[in-house]
Amino acid sequence: MDNLNNLLQGFADVVAPMNLLLALIGVVIGTAVGVLPGIGPAMTVALLLPVTYGMEPVQAFIMFAGIFYGGMYGGSTTSILLNTPGESSSVVTAIEGNKMAKAGRAAQALATAAIGSFVAGTIGTLLLVLVTPFVVDFAVSLGAPDYFALMLLSFIAVTSVLGSSRIRGFVSLLLGLTIGLVGIDSVSGQQRLSLGIPQLADGIDVVVVAVGIFAVGEALWVAAHLRRKPAEVIPVGRPWMGRKDWKRSWKPWLRGTAFGFPFGALPAGGAEIPTFLSYATEKRLTKHPEEFGKGAIEGVAGPEAANNASAAGTLVPMLAIGLPTNATAAVMLAAFQSYGIQPGPLLFDREASLVWVLIASLFVGNLLLLLLNLPLAPAWAKLLQIPRPYLYAGILFFASMGAYAVNAQPLDLFLLLTLGLLGFAMRRFGLPVLPLIVGVILGPRAELQGRRSLQLSGGELSGLLGGPVSYIVYTVVVLVLVWPLVRRFVVRPLRERSA
Amino acid sequence: MSSEVNDRIAEDTRPSGEGGDRAQYAVCAFLALLGTAVIVDALGIPHITSGTDPVGPRVVPMILGVLLMVVAVAYAVDVARGGRGEPEAGEDVDLSQGSDWRTVLLLIGAFVVNAVLIERLGWVISGTLLFWGTAFALGNRHYVRNLLIAVTLSLVTFYAFAIGLGVNLPAGVLQGIL
């Protein structure tokens, strides 16, 4: 009941006219930037961080909630109208969505995506309200060794479970951990890897890393391979759905939500698996199997809902434990840190009003998104035709502005360029970006928790084994690491023998 | 899956050169070098331990340095066995041709100009140069129109962010005029 009161208080704060306006602005610019081709939700949030720099945390997070869902929705519009998913989570939406658009049903595809996102986002946020307090209660009981184990699990999950090549995932993770090492060691006060540059003593700001790797890296990469003929955009009217479309959409929305939320909430989640599961399920259950591959509305409704519900789910570990499980959550975590706020179980005690305002704004932002995007879809579609030189010039312009504004030092611009070149190289060599960002954010905290654990045991390695949680987590880590070997040396020979 | 998606996948998997992607060895070398640098830096850190911190500031960088080297070797083995990462595809990305280094160098140039001049001349001027320069680098040749857009964008962002929202952006030589 306490939480309900807190949530109601959060709503009361959000509906103040000024705050409502901020939520609206957040949704509009989030969608506008998210719709731009080549800009996924994580990059949208990273690029728009500076907008909130001058604000109070409460105002900033109200706006952020809007940007978060706006960026997500913008991405799905791009995949449907251009067949160009901005992020791996909307790959599945593009499969059927773009076919529908080509068959003249763009309006229905956009409508089922928008309404499905709203349904999934609302249910997802509701589940977030219900589940998070339990996770917080659980997280409060965790000690330093458990945290260390959980962070280790995060590292293993982003490198091994997601992505196609583990070795490349580890390369990216280690690069991130190295970047996270730069600066003064928080325990002993010694400088590490700061190369004698005083500005590096404070470390490299996570925002600079995120903007450099996501925005500058992407802009440079695309610039080097710019398609001279722009992709064709399918013109679209106002999104709407007939009775039959509603009938075919509502079940996939709910099923997609059921897939998305739990996967998002797991420390090793993400949106790729649930969107694929949702697509496969709808394909199996549909009464119109002949339409799959040619533009079946279920194939848009389900995965879009799964995608949004998973986004809401990622906020559970992000807020309650301080573990980011996807790129967008990682950037959100960086945003919290830039306000000197550390997500984790104590957040709900120390910054209760802030958290509940954020959650209330997620509801409000989601509703605004629906009201806004149904009539504005044709306008968003026009944004897809923006000349590419302006698009990427604009990305570099805003990236530079944001990175400079963090600390007001030109050195950050050189760091931004260096990180941008690193991002370029990672795209060239197929190194995933997410492990690097997670490494930068969690690396220093994992070290802190690890050293704290060893402090309790006086330096004995046994100090890393805490309560049952750490045992379970290490078991999972070992299983994840060993599984491919088992498959290679046990399962495959057995199968070959039986075959 | 649609034929179009298949086309795109087919495009991505096209090997970039004859045989394996040898440029990947450069990444391995970079990782090994980085690992060495991290270890050398760690050796320079005084080894301070105490009752509250039995580990000290050196251990984690040492572990990381060693891991970087291990991964460099493992990566090299993977490359030698023919492993390669897929270059990232995207809506505006055409991977059928080689990299356009001229554009990238011009972009870096515009970027550096902004970084060097931002404090001296201020965001409005350096930002204008940045936008105009990057648009030029990306192949847009509407010089006058781009200048107008660049100036407008810089002025609007300066007034909106620096003056309106209190974000740190320098006024530079235009201090007192803006």
Confidence of residue A396 (pLDDT cuts 50, 70, 90): very high
pLDDT for residue A85 = 60
pLDDT in tens, A325-335: 888 888 888 88
Q: Phi and psi (nearest 5°) for A214?
A: -75, -60
Q: How far apart are CA A170 and CA A7, in angstroms?
A: 40
CB contact under 8 A, A224 and B104: yes
pTM above 0.90, yes or no: no
Chain A positions touching B68 (Cβ under 8 A) are 174, 178
Q: How far apart are CA A487 and CA A496, in angstroms?
A: 12
Percentage of chain A with pLDDT > 70? 96
pLDDT for residue A269 = 61
Q: Taking 50 as the threshold, does the pLDDT of residue B12 lie above it?
A: no
Q: Which of A115-124, A428-437, A455-464 has the lowest mean pLDDT?
A: A455-464
Q: How far is CA B76 from CA A156, A255, A417, B30, in A?
A: 21, 44, 27, 11
CB contact under 8 A, B138 and A223: yes
pLDDT for residue A128 = 93
Owner of token pair 């309560």:
A467
Q: Phi and psi (nearest 5°) for A205?
A: -60, 135
Confidence of residue A88 (pLDDT cuts 50, 70, 90): low
Q: Which of A41-50, A305-314, A434-443, B104-113 has the lowest mean pLDDT?
A: A41-50
pLDDT for residue A268 = 63
- The residue with greater pLDDT, B4 or A117, is A117
Cα Rg, chain A, nearest whole Å: 22
Interface size A-B, in CB pairs within 8 Å, comes to 240
- A184, with CB counted inside 10 A (0-12, 13-18, 19+), is middle
Q: How far apart are CA A213 and CA A334, in angstroms?
A: 14
Q: How far apart are CA A312 and CA A371, in angstroms?
A: 20
Return the amino acid letter for A338.
Answer: S
With an 8 Å Cβ cutoff, is A430 touching chain B? yes
* Partner-chain residue, chosen from B119, B138, B153, that has the shortest CB–CB distance to A388: B138
Q: How many CB atoms lie within 10 A of CB B134?
A: 30
Q: How far apart are CA A176 and CA A90, in angstroms?
A: 25
CB A173 within 8 A of CB A439: yes
Q: Taking 90 as the threshold, does the pLDDT of residue A5 lie above it?
A: no
pLDDT in tens, A45-85: 888 887 777 788 888 888 888 888 888 888 888 888 877 66
Closest CA to A130 of A315, A280, A256, A263: A315
pLDDT in tens, A359-386: 999 999 999 988 888 888 888 888 888 8
pLDDT for residue A229 = 67
Confidence of residue B20 (pLDDT cuts 50, 70, 90): low
pLDDT for residue B96 = 80
* Substitution target from A25, A170, A390 for chain B, most B beta carbons within 10 A: A390
pLDDT for residue B83 = 84
What's the length of chain B? 178
pLDDT in tens, B24-49: 999 999 999 999 999 999 998 888 88
CB contact under 8 A, A228 and B94: yes
With an 8 Å Cβ cutoff, is A425 touching chain B? yes
Beta-carbon contacts of residue A262 (< 8 Å; ≥ 6 apart): A269, A274, A313
Both tokens assigned to B18: 């004859």
CB contact under 8 A, A405 and B2: no
Mean pLDDT across A32-36: 86
Contacts 24+ apart (CB under 8 A), B18-21: B20/B79, B20/B80, B20/B82, B20/B84, B21/A429, B21/B79, B21/B84
pLDDT for residue A411 = 92
Exposure pattern of A99-109 as b/e (b: 16+ CB <10 Å)?
Answer: bbbbeebbbbb
CB contact under 8 A, B92 and A185: no
Confidence of residue A254 (pLDDT cuts 50, 70, 90): very high
Q: Taking 80 as the threshold, does the pLDDT of residue B118 lie above it?
A: yes
CB A388 within 8 A of CB B138: yes
- The residue with greater pLDDT, A477 or A84, is A477
Q: Is A63 helix (H, G, I), strand (E, B) or coil?
A: helix
Q: How far is CA A26 from CA A19, A51, A330, in A?
A: 10, 10, 19
Angle at A67 between CA A147 and CA A296, to 5 degrees: 95
Q: Taking 70 as the threshold, does the pLDDT of residue B6 lie above it?
A: no
pLDDT in tens, A173-195: 999 999 999 988 888 888 898 88
HSE (CB half, 13 Å, CA atoms) of A318?
29
Cα Rg, chain B, nearest whole Å: 24
pLDDT for residue A295 = 86
Q: Taking 60 as the threshold, does the pLDDT of residue A89 lie above it?
A: yes
Could you tell me the residue ranges of all domains in chain A?
Answer: 2-466, 471-499
Exposure pattern of B56-91 as b/e (b: 16+ CB <10 Å)?
Answer: bbbbbbeebbebbbebbebbbebbeeebbbebbbbb
pLDDT for residue A196 = 82
Average model confidence (pLDDT) for chain A? 86
Mean pLDDT across A309-320: 90
Chain A positions touching B88 (Cβ under 8 A) are 221, 427, 430
Q: Taking 80 as the threshold, does the pLDDT of residue B176 lie above it?
A: no
Per-residue DSSP letter, A184:
E
Positive or negative, the CA dihedral A336, A337, A343, A349 is negative
pLDDT for residue B4 = 39
* Substitution target from B41, B75, B97, B111 for chain A, most A beta carbons within 10 A: B111
pLDDT for residue B103 = 92
CB contact under 8 A, A225 and B99: yes
pLDDT in tens, A125-180: 999 999 998 898 888 888 889 889 988 988 888 887 666 788 999 999 999 999 99
Could you tell me the residue ranges of all domains in chain B?
Answer: 22-80, 101-174
Mean pLDDT across A335-344: 84
Q: Which helix (H) or strand (E) holds A405?
A: helix A388-407
Mean pLDDT across A233-240: 74
Q: How far apart are CA A316 and CA A413, in angstroms?
A: 34
Confidence of residue B15 (pLDDT cuts 50, 70, 90): very low
* Partner-chain residue, chosen from A193, A387, A455, that has the shortest CB–CB distance to B52: A455
First to last CA, chain B: 56
Closest CA to B140 of A152, A387, A445: A387
* Substitution target from A91, A159, A168 for chain B, most B beta carbons within 10 A: A168
Both tokens assigned to B161: 């962010």
Both tokens assigned to A98: 């773009």
CB contact under 8 A, A408 and B170: yes
Q: Is A53 helix (H, G, I), strand (E, B) or coil?
A: coil
